Amino acid sequence: MAAVVAITAVVGVAAVAVTVFLLGRSGSAPDGPRALTSDEANRLALTRFRNYEARGRAVTLTVPGTAGVLTVTASVDYRGKLGYGVVRGTGRDTSSDGLIEWTATSVSVHPMTDAPAHAPASPPRSGWYSRPLRSSGSSLDSSLAIALQLGADRPDNAELLPQNGAAWLGRDRVRGHRVDVMTGPSSRDRSGTADTVRYWIGSDGTMYRVRADVRSAPQPVSIDFDTHTYGPVEAVPGVTPAP
């Protein structure tokens, strides 16, 4: 199994564009690309498993759009395959603001005119509206799908990484952590897509940031980890996590 296979699969499901993006706001210029060392390949192969080992992670999704930016401040349970948090708009109307919970197949929203900075520990028991998670045409849904797939119950195959296009790009710092920036491999059904997803990974394989090109977003979406305190995720009524 190729390393980060689930992410490249989601890249196809979420209609991620085959484009190259710079490190951008990180403030560091790339030194690569070059082939991964064995240590780097092992860390990239471990990074989704680290999230699964932790059970869940606190994440902030930044989703650019033509009408403004959506920010999702959430917790993702990588064993329960369930995310829960707050979505808020910047530079746009507040029609999308409120609580949000999602699985691999559904999105539930609880609209709020004055959404809090962080979701309450226990979701409200009523006032939710559910719909299927869209596989294309929605940069928010694409970002939610990618975030949920950043955990796996076993390491990926490090030996296949160089064969499938993964590469080292440079070094950076994320909230005080020294990290290496790497691209993931191409997906099996999309040759040449290796540079569409980038990972900021610590010395032990911990994932601190992911950026991905999504066709429906004008700029890369960003998923940052450990931006706040992780809280256990409770399912709202009618929401069934994937088995």
CATH of the domain at 192: 2.50.20
User: φ, ψ for residue 206 (rounded to 5)?
Assistant: -70, 135
Considering the domain boundaries, does residue 239 fall inside one?
no
Q: Which residue has the higher pLDDT, 179 or 68?
A: 179
Is the confidence at residue 198, as pLDDT, over 90?
Answer: yes
Mean pLDDT estimate for the chain: 85
Considering the domain boundaries, does residue 221 fall inside one?
yes
Q: Which residue has the higher pLDDT, 10 or 218?
A: 218
Considering the domain boundaries, does residue 235 fall inside one?
no
Grade residue 243 by pLDDT with cuts at 50, 70 and 90. low
Q: Buried b / exposed e across 166-198, counting CB within 10 Å, b at 16+?
A: bbbbbebebeebebbbbbbbbbeeeeebbbbbb
Computed on alpha carbons and rounded to an integer, the radius of gyration of the chain in Å comes to 17
C-alpha to C-alpha distances, 7 to 10, 16, 26, 99, 238, nearest whole angstrom: 5, 11, 22, 25, 27
- Per residue in 73-123, pLDDT (tens digit) is 999 999 999 999 999 998 776 778 999 999 999 999 999 988 999 999 999
- Per residue in 127-137, pLDDT (tens digit) is 999 999 998 88
Q: Please name the amino acid found at residue 43.
A: R
Task: Identify the pLDDT of residue 24.
Answer: 35
Domain span including residue 95: 5-225
Please tell me the total count of domains within the chain. 1
Considering the domain boundaries, does residue 241 fall inside one?
no
Considering the domain boundaries, does residue 43 fall inside one?
yes
Residues 6 or more apart whose CB falls under 8 angstroms from that of 42 comprise 158, 205
Considering the domain boundaries, does residue 123 fall inside one?
yes
Task: Identify the pLDDT of residue 19.
Answer: 28
d(CA 94, CA 103): 23
Model's pTM, two decimal places? 0.84
Task: Identify the pLDDT of residue 188.
Answer: 54
Grade residue 140 by pLDDT with cuts at 50, 70 and 90. very high
Task: Identify the pLDDT of residue 208.
Answer: 98
Task: Identify the pLDDT of residue 142.
Answer: 93
Considering the domain boundaries, does residue 178 fall inside one?
yes
Considering the domain boundaries, does residue 170 fall inside one?
yes
User: φ, ψ for residue 198 (rounded to 5)?
Assistant: -125, 145
